[in-house]
Structure 1
Amino acid sequence: MKKVKRTTIYDIAEKLGITASSVSRALNNSNQVNEKTKELIIKTADELNYKRNTLASNLRKGQSKTIGVVIPRINQNFFSNVIAGIEEVTYQKGYSLIICQSDEDHDKEIQCVNTLINQHVDCIVISVSADGNDYQHLQNVLDHGIQLIQVDRVAEELETLKVINDNVQASYEAVSHLIEGGYKRIALLEGPQNLSIFKQRKEGYLKAFKAYNVPVIEELIVENAWTKELGAEGTRKLLSLPHPPDAIFASTSDFSALGVLDVANAMGIKVPSQLGICGYANESFSEITSPSITTIDQFSVYMGNTVANLFFQEIGNNDTITKPKIISIKPELIIRGSTKRNG
């Protein structure tokens, strides 16, 4: 199939026998071109199906009107909702999004960020991958004068705009709910501790134990059980203990909690009477499993709205020196069938 050549201002200029600079001025509604000539140029541009290169035009004005978003996985409800929330606001402002997926790979994350820098985006929004703890590529964003907003998973050492959840309080409330429900041996499936969100969720777990004067049992804490497969593997180990847990808090995600539920069902363990299960993130499937999974709603769309609004507030801020804002959003515990022992 023959590729159709894109019409340029030079094609319009050649057809009309005028300079390309005159065409450019007319298309930008310059007063330096008289109205009659301007009308003729616009009419000819339409006839030749001329499409403006809005990116190049915006770059000449010092902006691309484009925001880059780097997230670990697009197919997770939480991250896709964050993107939707950002887009709700940016669309109204005439900005476009470029979406990149790191696949939890640090090297790929670096490549995504460098690509966005080369695309001259006005802002990069990122939720960092679990693989790696070197954030020089994010410092590189700042060094290029590009706004950087971290969302959910953040590099704490970098002073940037951040939109986060109160992970400590959310986990505290989830574990408190399990304790108050009569569960005695509550296990924790934790995520990579190089990420602040997983450290904070573990902190909330331990905080609840302390508040209720419940002893911490180290063998009930499983490291890096943050996918469905790893959640299932961790659950099999926990349930094979001489004194297995009677509840599991999958603090990493609902996917991990789903792995717990699959193993419990396969072993004939009744949920919630014999084993309580709590997940994190309120993925769409958590409401339709049997039983439905108690989880924590992070208000992901609202987080995305907040990210976008924060960007537009900052570009409208005339102060040359401002302390980077950190906005913390309080999640909500959603109690469902997997922890309701009494109906």
Structure 2
Amino acid sequence: MKPKKRVTIYDIAEKLNITASSVSRALNNSSHVNEETKKLVLKTAAELNYKRNILASNLRMGKSHTIGVVVPRINQNIFSNVIAGLEEVTNQQNYNLIICQSNESVAKEIKCVNALVDQHVDCIIISMSVETDDISHLRNVISHGIQLIQFDRVATELETLKVINDNEQASMEAVEHLIQQGYRRIALLEGPQNLDIFKQRRNGYLRALQKHNIEIDEELVMKNAWTKELGAEATRKLLSLPNPPDAIFASTSDFSALGVLDVAHDMNISVPEQLGICGYANEAFTELTNPSITTIDQFSIHMGRTIANLYFEEAKNTETIRQPKVISLKPELIIRSSTLRNAK
């Protein structure tokens, strides 16, 4: 069945044999239209089931009251929780969210961003895909006068509002915990180094080893192991080394940590006695695995609230020249069974 055509002010004008501008003024309660005409227009609008185009009305006033959000994957804990935190605050301010996911594709990310620009959103909030190394599409957002807020995965060279985690410190604390539990050959599963968050996590890993005078072995650093499948593949390589690691820090995600755990089970390697495992992001499943997985909580709902509040605070700021704010949040190490070797 074909959907009915949307009723417009031109339909009302045709039925009443008046101009569309008169209908518009009547619907907006203009003093330039007499009361009798207003009542007639409102009555006819109700009969025809006319619905005002709120977006067009808001755009005429210079605001869409809409914020676009672009995330790599909606089904990951950090991104779904950031969206929940954003929505909590934006709902209170009567703003709408348009949510897009890039699926870790830069081409899809560019398409999402351009679509949001075309829809005249007031702000675009983005965490970049793993493929993103050219940020021309983000510069385009700024050139259109649209507020841009980056979070989690950010382009540091782009001067925008940013909400980030202290990834380096969190990673250092995670590796220090492994060292305190007696692990010495600690491997790192790292993400693409074009993204600053993965550079920071690598730096935290290296700092912890240096602090405790543990030799850095590049053989134990596995590049681009940021999914469950890639984490499993990297783990098989690591555990087949003549001198394999006794712990693996999956700095990319808990999904890669899950890949580590699956391989350990398949190879009958005892966790945490023979192999310690630490992930990153505090996905819900990390409490339910056997053993439960030590991880890092990024407080992503709080991050979402922080981003939204930052936007509304900046919207009230009347200064013509101001430094873009960077808010850094402190993650927390959540210690579980997969690394508690000394508790046995």
TM-score if structure 2 supplies the norm length? Answer: 0.97
Question: Counterparts of 2:327 and 2:36 in 1: how far apart (Å)?
Answer: 53
Question: Counterparts of 1:72 and 1:2 in 2: how far apart (Å)?
Answer: 35
Q: Give 2:228's aligned residue.
A: 228
Q: Give 2:338's aligned residue.
A: 338
| Residue 210 of structure 2 corresponds to residue 213 of structure 1 | no
Q: Give 2:21's aligned residue.
A: 21
Question: Counterparts of 1:314 and 1:149 in 2: how far apart (Å)?
Answer: 11
**1:193, distance to aligned residue in structure 2 (A):** 0.6
Corresponding letter in the other structure for 2:2: K
- List per-residue Cα deviations over 1:44-96 (Å, max 9, x = no partner): 21221111111111111111111111111112121111111111111111111
Q: Give 1:299's aligned residue.
A: 299
Partner SS state of residue 213, structure 1:
coil
Cα RMSD of the aligned pairs, angstroms, is 1.2
Partner SS state of residue 125, structure 1:
strand
Question: Counterparts of 1:70 and 1:195 in 2: how far apart (Å)?
Answer: 16
Partner SS state of residue 158, structure 2:
coil
Question: Counterparts of 2:7 and 2:81 in 1: how far apart (Å)?
Answer: 38
Q: Give 1:244's aligned residue.
A: 244
Question: How many residues get paired?
Answer: 343
**1:27, distance to aligned residue in structure 2 (A):** 1.7
- List per-residue Cα deviations over 1:167-225 (Å, max 9, x = no partner): 01100110111101111111100111110000000001111112222221211111111
Partner SS state of residue 81, structure 1:
helix
Single out whichever of 253-262 and 91-100 deviates more from structure 2. 91-100
Q: Give 1:288's aligned residue.
A: 288
Corresponding letter in the other structure for 1:183: Y
Q: Give 2:158's aligned residue.
A: 158
Single out whichever of 213-222 and 294-303 deviates more from structure 2. 213-222
Question: Counterparts of 1:229 and 1:135 in 2: how far apart (Å)?
Answer: 28
Corresponding letter in the other structure for 1:193: Q
Question: Counterparts of 2:93 and 2:39 in 1: how far apart (Å)?
Answer: 28
**1:19, distance to aligned residue in structure 2 (A):** 2.3
Corresponding letter in the other structure for 1:169: Q
| Residue 78 of structure 2 corresponds to residue 43 of structure 1 | no
- List per-residue Cα deviations over 1:135-194 (Å, max 9, x = no partner): 111111111111000010001110000000000110011011110111111110011111
- List per-residue Cα deviations over 1:256-294 (Å, max 9, x = no partner): 000000000000011111111000001111111111110
Question: Counterparts of 2:286 and 2:98 in 1: how far apart (Å)?
Answer: 29
Question: Counterparts of 1:15 and 1:190 in 2: how far apart (Å)?
Answer: 66
Q: Give 2:78's aligned residue.
A: 78
Q: Give 1:308's aligned residue.
A: 308
**1:245, distance to aligned residue in structure 2 (A):** 0.8
Q: Give 2:269's aligned residue.
A: 269
Q: Give 2:138's aligned residue.
A: 138
Corresponding letter in the other structure for 1:255: F
Structure 1, unaligned stretches of length 5 or more? none
State the identity as a percent. Answer: 73
**1:32, distance to aligned residue in structure 2 (A):** 2.5
- List per-residue Cα deviations over 1:279-313 (Å, max 9, x = no partner): 00011111111111100000111111111111111
Q: Give 1:96's aligned residue.
A: 96
Single out whichever of 6-15 and 80-89 deviates more from structure 2. 6-15
Q: Give 1:113's aligned residue.
A: 113
Corresponding letter in the other structure for 2:25: R
**1:324, distance to aligned residue in structure 2 (A):** 0.3
- Divergent runs of 4+, >6 A: none
Question: Counterparts of 1:338 and 1:25 in 2: how far apart (Å)?
Answer: 67
Structure 2, unaligned stretches of length 5 or more? none
**1:43, distance to aligned residue in structure 2 (A):** 2.5
**1:38, distance to aligned residue in structure 2 (A):** 2.4
Corresponding letter in the other structure for 2:21: S
